[in-house]
Amino acid sequence: MEKKTVYIISGPTAVGKSLIAFYLAKRINGEIINCDSVQLYKYMDIGSAKPSDHEMSVVKHHLYSIVEPDYNMTVATYQKLANAVIENVISRGKTPIVCGGTGLYLNSILYDMSFAGSKGDAARREELERMAEQNGSDYMYQYLNALDPESASRIHPNNTRKIIRAIEAYELGHGIKDLSECPLNPKYDFKFFVLTMERSWLYDRINKRVDKLINDGLVDEVSGLLQRGYDLSLPSMKGIGYKELIGYLKGHYDLYDAIDEIKKNTRHYAKRQLTWLKRYDFANWIEITRGETVGAIVDRILSYDNEGRTIFEI
């Protein structure tokens, strides 16, 4: 049976993924599936740079604003939701276009990953959570690193929840699988594109976008989330743009410093995204040039053949 095509449009923050996915969807009768962890949440529209109401009215978008900010969205849950939507889009004769830059979510779609397995002891989970609360994420990361350096090398030191899961996995006798041990999802023909651009230009776009988000009302959005009872104890509220403005709203520093911190943290995040995306040796990289139109970029995407080589030179 012929595999159905699934497009993936990824890249660092502020590179223009959403807009390019939108125009690609118009060209190929596609529908867009979110692969950004913050855009899943309600009330977090400005800071996560969700597609505009106009874009969502013209092209069907899925998995945007689907859960409350206090919902614990796991990679396993995201995988189930995304796979169900992909199948639904295909069943209606449309082409799925996965759009976003959250690496773990990309992995759950691209690879044949099973999240089923033995459950840890509830008492041990509580003990590890108390350890994290008392000692902090760095302590837990070093604890994991002493047990299982390979698993620790694949986890961000601030991702306390995943560190705890990795400790549990080690104690149960099965560490986290490396991607090299997970085959590509055999159900689909992935056309995977990573958008990129010259680094200084990307950073300039990031800085300008942060200024626009502030002008669009990000401070009021964060204030509204706090009034609803959401705070920094939630993973969703630790997102860039939200955590810094919470500090400002609580009087820890002024707005100018908060904005500067958002820009710096976003630039660092973009750099980490690019490092993550380089691990996908089957991805097609599209370097956007200054002055290039969105239509021309979509043309370049559609010019790639199944082996990922351009049919003609741009």
Q: Based on DSSP, count helices (H) and strands (E) in the chain, helices before strands.
A: 13, 6
**pLDDT average, residue stretch 210-218:** 98
Q: Which domains does the chain have, with CATH numbers?
A: 4-113+181-302 (3.40.50.300), 122-176 (1.10.20.140)
pLDDT of 177 reads 57
Tell me the whole-structure pTM to 2 decimals. 0.81
Contacts of 130 (CB under 8 A, 6+ apart): none
List residues bridging with 304 in a β-sheet.
310
Q: Which long-range contacts (CB under 8 A, 24 or more apart) does 272-275 make?
A: 273/11, 273/12, 273/13, 273/101, 273/103, 274/12, 274/196
pLDDT of 268 reads 96
Confidence label for 69 from pLDDT (cuts 50, 70 and 90): very high
pLDDT of 102 reads 92
pLDDT of 297 reads 97
149's tokens: 């350096």
Helix (H) or strand (E) holding 260: helix 255-277
Work out the mean pLDDT of the chain and round it to a whole number: 89
Span 76-125, pLDDT tens digits: 899 999 999 999 999 999 999 999 999 989 999 999 877 654 455 677 78
User: CA 194 to CA 270: how far, in whole Å?
Assistant: 13
Confidence label for 313 from pLDDT (cuts 50, 70 and 90): very low
- CA 103, distance to chain mean position in Å, is 6
